[in-house]
Structure 1
Amino acid sequence: MIIKGERDFCTECRETTTYTLKKKDITKEIKGCTYQFSITTAFCDNCGKEVNIPGLIDKNIKEIDEQYRFIKGLVSIEDIQRLLTLYDIGKRPLSLALGFGEVTIERYLSGQIPSKKYSDVIKKALTNPSYMKSCLEENENKLKDIAFAKSMSAAERCESLFSVSEKILGVISRLFDNLEEITPLMLQKLLYYVQGLSYVKNGKPIFLEECQAWVHGPVYPEIYFMFRDFKYNPIEDVRFAIIQSDKDRLTESDVYIVDLVSDTFGRYSGKVLEKITHKEAPWISARKGLSDDMRSNKIISSESIEAYFKEKDGEYGFSEKAGIETYICNMMD
């Protein structure tokens, strides 16, 4: 990282000068072991010496703390905060639910570094709602009824994420990494296009879930029920903390497809994508004989999706961004 143009007082030059922020490697001993860290340092643009600017020491402390935790495989403060939100639980109840002393979580949030044993417990609770449920049940007698009920309900909601395949969770996670805002309607259409392009590039689907021909276009029901509470609003859900590792289940080819969809179809709203799907053969064929507003759970066959996207690949070249953009423009006319 290099940042230029800011100004502060340089003790070497004895005047206010501009400085540049750069990364510098340092060696530091912690608990008898030597580690190398990369910290942010300010250098005077005039003399090249280090400049002491406000807030930099605190930033360096945080950088070292984060890197040390990563090296040792320890949970971060942000992960603990995410866990509190994820299970709708307070610091003291979370400590008790995990079998810790009642002020343990509060100390960790204040900067105390957890042991590897306790860190692993926190990580497991963050990534495995079934484990969190078992912790809550085991320590129910230590918690107030309201705290227990709220956290158990949150854990059960999180568990619903695992009712679908790891592959589709990996695709969703990658889409959320790539795009700033995704509504439930938009997500459904992006999943459909990821599946279609997978037939083009891989000759097979990325995930096994089937989509249905609903009024507003192709829909994966399991994903719909997962996020229906957001209605037409962007999805903002801390529950995705528990599936971040699932994006690692994607192959390089899968990642290419998801990124290609993000860079093309991902530029448009759910409503625009809905209108495009309404002009495509797979959805039209599955809803044959139905009125525009008639509900249906008819499956859009994988064969029709494969045939359609391979046909359009021959016309436009769906393996490249330019071909997809041309297709979208033509379908929007």
Structure 2
Amino acid sequence: MEKKYVLCEECRKEVEFILTETSMNGRIKNEEIHFLGKEARCPECGSLLYIPEINDFNLKTLYDEYRRRKGIVSLEVIRAIPEKYAIGKRPLSLLLGWGEQTFTRYYDGDLPTKQYSEILSKIYENPIYYAELLQAGKENLKTTAAYEKSKKAVDALILEADEPISKIEAVVRTILNQCGDITPLTLQKALYYIQGFYYAFHNEFLFSENCEAWIHGPVYRDIYNRYRTYHFDPIIPCAPLVSPAMTEVEAAVINCVVQYFCCYGGKTLEQFTHQEDPWLNARKDLPKLTSARRIIPKESIGDYFMRLKEKYNMEKPEDIRFYAEDRFLTIMK
């Protein structure tokens, strides 16, 4: 909580107040939306204090929640597109064959249609897709300078993507290109199972990043931050890897986790992990709904999955299906 001072219209004096979070309701397009907003009251008379920045925050939070529910691209993503691809708002609308002010309206906060939302999400996530749109629609731009400037920016992004990438990044891209409808929650659980089962079969970890024990299960924080704006929506597949970044041995584990675990929804996989020692031990003294970013020791992950391999007599990666099926039947009882 943060202390603030403002003029109370009832008391007619500057008062100190504490900004608090509170449950609020709002309506957008005749739909009632519940969200967590902020409010401030006078500590002396109890009057609700009107503060412009708080009102703006609550309005944005309301619209963010509506976007999340409807699977509409976030305002942050929309506003990042022109900078990412070095193109103005009006030229981008022209490039896409939209009305000249369409993208500007979305940039200023208007809600895009579902169709336009999907296009904007894909543009942001996939430079190759944008490069194809730029080439196909360059005649719509008023000047060649706008085209050349944006082409230079997107070419640099694609070239950067072709540079050597970390192992976890290669795993993420592989998962996204194999799964057409994977959500951020499912992606996190897939990474955890790939790390664990790879260790079980090869006695080494596939990537070096630490896993954290969050409320909803194991999480790799940097990956979470990258895809957090998708919330519960499927992540748009990224550009395919230019060259194979996985050995056959690595790909075998990844493919089996995708096949036998990613067929379940993220909430189901969350229940899987909530019954497993690595997550349980990392959070054993925490209340159920307490946020924390405790590291799940790699040794804990390795030991647990080695025990699973032995318990289920796994001889090859395909055998992990026995554990996946058993875990699913357990939580369904």
TM-score range, shorter chain: 0.5 to 0.7
Residues 167-215 of structure 1 deviation map (CA, whole Å, 9 limit, x = unaligned): 1121111112222210011110011001011101221111111110000
Report the 3-state secondary structure (helix = DSSP H, G, I; strand = E; otherwise coil) of the residue aligned with 1:299. strand
Task: Write out per-residue CA displacement over residues 214-273 of structure 1, whole angstroms, 9 at most, x where no aligned residue.
Answer: 000000000111011011111126xx22xx226721111110011000110011000000
Query: Cα–Cα, structure 1 residues 289 and 174, in superposed 2: closer, same or farther, change >3 Å?
Result: same
Q: 1:204 to 1:130 in 2, by over 3 A?
A: closer
Per the alignment, in what secondary structure is the counterpart of residue 156 of structure 2? Answer: helix
Whole-angstrom CA distance in 2 between matches of 1:270 and 1:177: 17
For residues 104-119 of structure 1, the aligned pairs below 5 Å read: none
Q: Deviations over 1:61-107 (max 9, x none)?
A: xxxxxxxxxxxxxxxxx986532669xx976489536758x9xx8xx
Question: What corresponds to 1:235 in structure 2?
Answer: 235
Is 1:125 equivalent to 2:124 in the alignment? Answer: no
Q: Residue 219 and residue 130 in structure 1: after superposition, are their counterparts in 2 closer, same or farther (change >3 A)? A: closer
Q: 1:134-158, CA deviations, whole angstroms, 9 ceiling, x for partnerless residues?
A: xxxxxxxxxxxxxxxxxxxxxxxxx
Deviation at 1:324, TM superposition (A): 3.1
In the TM superposition, residue 130 of structure 1 has moved relative to its aligned partner by 9.2
| 1:31-70 correspondence runs (5 A) | none
How far residue 316 of structure 1 moved from its aligned partner, in angstroms, is 1.1
Match of 2:295, SS state, is coil
CA shift, 1:330, in A, is 4.6
Counterpart in the other structure of 2:318: 320
Conserved 8 A contact 1:167-1:246: no
- Structure 2 spans left out of the alignment, 5+ residues: 1-125
**Letter paired with 1:302:** K
Query: Which residue type is aligned with residue 327 of structure 1?
Result: D
* 8 A Cα contact 1:186 1:270, kept in partner: yes
Shift of the 235–201 alpha-carbon distance from structure 1 to 2, 3 Å rule, reads same
Q: How much does 1:325 deviate?
A: 3.5
Give the secondary structure class of the aligned counterpart of 1:266.
coil
Question: Structure 1 length as normaliser, TM-score?
Answer: 0.53
1:256 aligns with 2:256: no
Kindly report which structure 2 residues correspond to 1:137-286, keeping only aligned pairs within 5 A, or say none.
166-236=166-236, 240-241=238-239, 244-245=240-241, 248-286=244-282
Query: How does the TM-score come out when normalised to structure 2?
Result: 0.53
Higher-Rg structure is 1
Residue by residue, what CA displacement relative to the aligned partner does 1:99-147 show, whole Å, maximum 9, x if unpaired? Answer: 58x9xx8xxxxxxxxxxxxxxx79843523599xxxxxxxxxxxxxxxx
Amino acid at match of 1:96: A
- Partners of 2:245 and 2:179 in 1: CA distance: 19
Alignment partner of 1:82 is 2:140? no
Alpha-carbon separation, structure 1, partners of 2:142 and 2:290? 48
Percent of matched pairs sharing the same residue: 32
CA distance in 2, matches of 1:290, 1:246: 44
Q: Which residue in the other structure is 1:146 paired with? A: none
Contact between 1:199 and 1:205, CA under 8 Å: does it hold in 2? Answer: yes
| 8 Å contact from structure 1 (residues 184, 228) kept in 2 | yes
Give the letter aligned to residue 184 of structure 1. P
CA contact (8 A) 1:282 1:308 kept: yes
Tell me: CA distance 1:246–1:306, structure 2 relative to 1, closer, same or farther (3 Å). Answer: farther
Find 2:145's aligned residue among 96, 104, 111: 96
Mapped partners of 1:171, 1:217: distance in 2: 19
